[in-house]
Amino acid sequence: MKYKITLLFVLAVLIINTSSLAQVDTFAYAKNFELQKSQYAGLPMSSLLSNMGGLQFLSVFSGINVKNKYHIPYSTFFFEAPGNRFYQGVIGVTIHWQTPILSTDVQYYRNRNHAYFTNEERQFYGTKIIKDIKVYRR
């Protein structure tokens, strides 16, 4: 009985550590793109997407410009599905665009795919030119 409890405890600790490590790894992974932003600035987003490994974006949310709601100045990409994006501490990669994206274009994809980062989004955003990259925990 005693051994079983110990085993369960060790397993729990391992699971928690693994989950934390995964978060740390995701953060470090995303931060790496921020550190190398000068390498991507001025290039289409497809260059960044092609350099990504196994960890891919699963959702995208639009930023806003309070002074002009028709222009999307930045978008934030998550390694989580849209439904999990509202967990505290999830990591978002915010990409500012060289030229703001028209909100009508973004709305088209939002209505179609509901914030999922599908191949359609990959193609749409892939052509947009990166101005800056910032990484935040939400």
Partner 1 sequence: MFLSKYFLVLFLTFFVLSITILNQGCKKIGNREELMVSEGNIEEFLKLPANSSLELKVVLADLRRQLSRQNFAAQFVQWHGQPQWSKAIKLHGKGGFFSLLIPCIKTNKVTTFIVASQKLGGGILFELHRRSSLDNKIPEYSYIGLNPNKVKNYFSLLELNLQGKELPSQSGSTASSVNDECFYTWWQWEICPMTLTKGEVDTLTPTNNAVAIIQYCWVEHTYEWPDCEPGTGNPSGGGGGGGCTNCPQPPDCLNPYWYSFVPVEDPCDDNPPNPPTLTPCERVILGCQKASALFKASQQPNMAARKAEITSQFFPNIERCFWFGKNLSTDLILTTTNILPGPAGNNITVTPYPPSSLGQLLTYGAAHTHTDSGYSAPSPGDIYNFRWVNSINSNFWDYFNFSSGQNEYAFIVTDTVLFRNFGLNWSPDVYFDDSTGDWKEGTEIFIAKQNAFDYFVEVMNKTEDEAFELAQAFIARKYQTGLTIAKMDAQGNFKPIFVNEISDSSNPSNKTYQQTIICNLNFIVIEL
Burial class (CB in 10 A: 0-12, 13-18, 19+), 103: middle
Tokens of 84: 């999990």
Q: 85 or 128, CB closer to partner 1?
A: 85
CA distance 89 to 87: 6
Instruction: Give dist(CA 138, CA 134) in Å, integer.
Output: 12
Shortest distance in whole angstroms from residue 130 CB to partner 1:
16
Q: How far is the CB of 78 from partner 1 (least distance, A)?
A: 10
**Which CB sits closer to partner 1, 88 or 127?**
88
- Asked whether 93 and 57 are in contact (CB, 8 A), the reply is yes
CB of 5 to partner 1, least distance (A): 25
Interface contacts to partner 1, rule CB under 8 A = 61-70, 73-74, 76, 82, 84-89, 94, 103, 110, 114-115, 134, 136, 138
